[in-house]
A = this chain, B = another copy of it.
Amino acid sequence: MADFTHLDEAGSARMVNVGEKPVTPREAVAEACVKMEAATAESIRENQTKKGEVLQVARLAGIMAAKRTDELIPLCHGLPLESIDVAFTFEDATTLRITATAKVAAKTGVEMEAMTAASVAALTVYDMCKAIDRGMEIRQVRLMKKSGGKSGTYERQPEN
């Protein structure tokens, strides 16, 4: 079962030994989309105009969750995050795109921190809006880019 870095030869879970790896600067960008009713998107936009806090709460939730990634994802290493930010844009009338960017200087990558920030921000948007639109759906939680480390740079190719 050599395929899975998080499993030993017997298939048992382990936290990969990163002791031999050098500390290098790492960056990862992940995104998530929240698909909603047009009326819900309209309400969020209007809320932003009126200084409401729907997206602010979601942003904070994403940032704070990123710092606790290693408590949530069992085999993740704890990383001293140097920066994390979470941004929102409406892609179209019914889709909110969330982009999370995480940076660290560490022996292992910061992808899971970015993925977790985007996911938890999306879950928080769901929580804030579920009373008006229970059918919202979180889509396309995925890694867009990462750099640093032995495996080098990855950039998601546009689908077509």
Partner-B contacts on A (CB < 8 A): 1, 3-8, 11-19, 25, 32, 43, 47-48, 50-54, 56-57, 59-61, 63-65, 67-68, 70-85, 87, 103-105, 107, 111-112, 115-116, 119-120, 122-124, 126-132, 134-143, 146, 151, 154, 156
Contact = CB atoms under 8 A, between A and B. Distances in A.
Report copies per complex.
6
B78 A67 contact: yes
A131 B72 contact: no
A129 B136 CA distance: 27
Given A11-B52, A138-B119, A138-B142, A61 B84 contact: no
Nearest 7 Cβ contacts at the A-B interface? A11-B52, A17-B83, A138-B141, A19-B82, A14-B85, A137-B142, A5-B131
B64 A124 contact: no
Contacts of A18: 82-83
